[in-house]
Amino acid sequence: MSIIKSEDSNKWINALVAIAAVLAGFIVTKFADQLGAWFDLEAKVSSFAVVSQGLGVLAGVLVFVVVLKNSKSSSYLEEVYNELLKVVWPSKDATLKMTIGIAIALVVCSGIFVFVDFVFKKILSFVY
């Protein structure tokens, strides 16, 4: 059973855009803080922290509005959602079996590399 339903497309798309907007706001805030540290803007601009956070909020809101109002991006996200509905997700049992298989293969490959490394160390210890 999938948690994704075709009638919930707007909810999921809006959530994705909101997450992207929050991420953009966070990045702009951190970038403004870094610029403040580089150019000593904290001493030159009163309440610089409020200004940098305001820039982050403004960037987040701007990203949210621009993405949702742009018809190309909205239709693209709708197409991506419709393709996501077609994905057949593996069952819990299949996922568990694949995970165990990968772990076993990883242990075998690691063992081979450890053995080869040991052999080369012994060969090089005879040479040097």
Q: What is the pLDDT of residue 18?
A: 97
Q: The pTM is what?
A: 0.68
d(CA 101, CA 12): 33
Given a cut of 70, whether residue 3 has pLDDT beyond it is no
User: Which residues make Cβ contacts (< 8 Å) with residue 42, sequence separation at least 6?
Assistant: 36, 48, 49
One-letter amino acid for residue 67 of the chain: V
What would the pLDDT profile of 17-31 be if each residue is shown by its tens digit? Answer: 999 999 999 999 999
Please name the residues in contact with 14: beta carbons below 8 A apart, sequence gap of 6 or more.
68
